[in-house]
């Protein structure tokens, strides 16, 4: 048996060894290890993290579906409005991941911690302002979205709790973004699963009043979600302060650095705009669908929860590409950064291609997990089938867009989104549903076509390579 001599490079661990290392938390330099190994070590915990995120959404939908279509419609309308908040969270998260990754690639760990602190401070400020204002305006916002009086009666408490808990949403997003930028995907994964366990336990207890818990109905789902996220934030802070992960925040880092904060905000504004454009588009789509009644909205909400469950693991793969782009650009390796994107995109395409087949042939089985309502099921099944036609394109769209973000180029994805979602998706949805009168299916076809076009435009612009010279 061959013996390895001192001074020889250690052999790479096998597949199962890589999985154990990825879950435990790797200390590898991701700008040096072979790309396939780097993608594996990052993608496994990121995919599991995003699977946990999708479980969060699926869990709420499963229990809320037992309360009726008005409750599901409330969740759909509230989340459409929360997309605006998520736009802020996503924008700051993209900037945080990009800046922390760039500093880690430059081996500036103190600068990475400083960037994380500025992101947290900005998140707290924005959450306090937006959260209080939107919680007070909740009934007016729901009416603006076309909510009926029945929906308002059932769901106002839920909406107010979700808006009021905006601080936990933003901090949860931002700190996990900092972990990912540092290459500590395992900490982000553990945080999300910890929050999910708490949510899974509290959801049925607070919705249905099990044991000593009060029966809060739909409002209980929002309370459980906020408690779960809040506990997750406490756990995140303990990791940052403990020094156990790849990113450590010391007392000396806990200060406002105006230059870093302004640079972070500059990149974040592009990210916010990038997320805001499709999210406003989603609000427009919900408004178009609301004229068909609560049953159609409920079917759409169920279908989109299932779609999210499928797409979030794919988003985990694309986030791995963003981190590799950021760290390799920081290390002066732009060609390696580009190769990581094409390799990750291929993996994502294979994964979502298999999901497409499942959604085409077994959508009824998936929808049956949530409801057997004969007025709701047809919409959900139809939505799943139509949207899945674009999954192979979505795979590349996710990876390429995240690659731009990892380089700190949040402007290019914003322009792509404006073209594909405002100038194309919304008009197409309106024409298909109203002018051609094909009903809710018109919205579903508009989603599939617009994301496919976004993928093709993004790949063309990525090949030009201007993102390689982006400075942050």
| Closest-CA residue to 348 (of 39, 135, 119) | 39
Does 4 map to a domain?
no
Note whether residue 9 is domain-resident: no
φ/ψ of 370, rounded to 5, equals -100, -40
Cα distance between residue 194 and residue 229, in whole Å? 9
Whether residue 16 lies inside any domain: the answer is no
CB under 8 Å to 33, separation ≥6 — which residues? 41
Domain assignment present for residue 1? The answer is no
Domain presence at residue 26: no
What is d(CA 166, CA 173) in angstroms, rounded to the nearest whole number? 11
What length does the chain have? 472
SS3 (DSSP) at 128: helix
**Is 407:348 a contact under the CB 8 Å cutoff?**
no
Q: What is the pLDDT of residue 346?
A: 93
In a domain, 20, yes or no: no
Query: Is 9 a residue whose pLDDT tops 50?
Result: no
Task: Please give the Cα distance from 408 to 417 (Å, whole number).
Answer: 16
Whether 101 and 330 have beta carbons less than 8 Å apart is answered as yes
- Verdict on whether the full-model pTM lies above 0.75: yes
Instruction: Report the number of distinct structural domains present in the chain.
Output: 1
Give the range of the structural domain holding residue 372, as residue numbers without chain letter: 32-469
Q: Are 225 and 165 in contact (CB under 8 A)?
A: yes
Give me the chain's average pLDDT, please: 86
52-62 exposure pattern, b = at least 16 Cβ within 10 A, e = fewer: bbbbbbbbbbb
Distance between CA 267 and CA 406 in Å, rounded?
11
User: Whole-angstrom Cα distance, residue 102 to residue 96?
Assistant: 10
- Which of 414, 84, 430, 82 is CA-nearest to residue 280? 84
Q: Which pLDDT belongs to residue 429?
A: 92
User: Would 176 be classed as within a structural domain?
Assistant: yes
Tokens of 455: 């993928």
Q: For 146-189, what is each residue's pLDDT tens digit? A: 777 777 777 788 889 988 888 998 899 899 999 989 988 889 88
Look at residue 206 in the predicted model and tell me its pLDDT: 93
Residue with tokens 């839920």: 158
Per residue in 274-307, pLDDT (tens digit) is: 878 887 887 888 888 888 888 888 888 889 878 8
Q: What is the pLDDT of residues 24-53, one digit of tens each?
A: 777 777 888 888 888 888 888 888 887 777
27 in any annotated domain: no
Over residues 255-284, the mean pLDDT reads: 85
Residue 2 has pLDDT above 70, yes or no: no
User: Which pLDDT value is given to residue 6?
Assistant: 40
């Amino acid at each position: 048996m061959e013996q390895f001599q001192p001074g020889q490079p250690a052999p790479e661990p096998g597949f199962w060894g890589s999985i154990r290392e990825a879950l435990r938390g790797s200390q590898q330099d991701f700008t040096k290890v072979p790309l396939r190994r780097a993608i594996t070590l990052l993608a496994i915990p990121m995919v599991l993290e995003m699977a946990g995120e999708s479980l969060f959404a699926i869990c709420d939908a499963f229990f809320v579906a037992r309360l009726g279509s008005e409750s599901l419609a409330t969740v759909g309308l509230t989340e459409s409005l929360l997309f605006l908040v998520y736009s802020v969270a996503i924008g700051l998260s993209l900037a945080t991941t990009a800046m922390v990754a760039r500093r880690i690639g430059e081996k500036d760990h103190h600068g990475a911690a400083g960037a994380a602190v500025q992101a947290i401070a900005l998140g707290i400020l924005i959450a306090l302002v937006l959260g209080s204002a939107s919680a007070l305006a909740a009934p007016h916002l729901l009416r603006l979205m076309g909510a009926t009086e029945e929906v308002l009666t059932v769901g106002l408490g839920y909406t107010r709790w979700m808006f009021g808990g905006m601080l936990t949403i933003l901090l949860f997003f931002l700190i996990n973004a900092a972990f990912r930028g540092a290459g500590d995907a395992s900490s982000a994964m553990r945080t999300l699963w910890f929050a999910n366990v708490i949510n899974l336990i509290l959801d049925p207890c607070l919705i249905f009043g099990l044991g000593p818990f009060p029966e809060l109905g739909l409002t209980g789902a929002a309370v459980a979600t906020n408690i779960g996220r809040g506990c997750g934030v406490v756990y995140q802070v303990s990791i940052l302060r403990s020094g156990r992960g790849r990113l450590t925040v010391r007392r000396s880092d806990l200060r406002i650095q105006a230059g870093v904060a302004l640079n972070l905000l500059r990149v974040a504004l592009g990210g916010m705009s990038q997320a805001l454009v499709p999210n406003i588009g989603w609000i427009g789509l919900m408004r178009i669908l609301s004229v068909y009644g609560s049953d159609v909205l409920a079917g759409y909400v169920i279908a989109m929860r299932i779609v999210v469950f499928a797409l979030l693991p794919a988003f985990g793969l694309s986030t791995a590409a963003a981190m590799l782009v950021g760290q390799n650009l920081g290390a002066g390796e732009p060609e390696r950064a580009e190769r990581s994107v094409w390799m990750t995109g291929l993996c994502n395409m294979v994964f979502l291609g298999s999901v497409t087949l499942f959604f085409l042939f077994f959508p009824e089985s998936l929808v049956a997990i949530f409801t057997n309502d004969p007025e709701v099921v047809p919409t959900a099944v139809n939505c799943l089938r139509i949207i899945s036609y674009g999954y192979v394109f979505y795979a590349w769209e996710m990876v390429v867009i995240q690659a731009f973000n990892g380089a700190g180029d949040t402007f290019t994805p914003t322009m792509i989104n404006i073209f594909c979602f405002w100038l194309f998706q919304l008009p197409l949805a309106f024409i298909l549903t109203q002018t051609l009168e094909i009903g809710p299916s018109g919205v579903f076809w508009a989603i599939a076509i617009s994301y496919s076009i976004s993928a093709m435009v993004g790949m063309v612009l990525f090949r030009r390579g201007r993102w390689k010279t982006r400075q942050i």
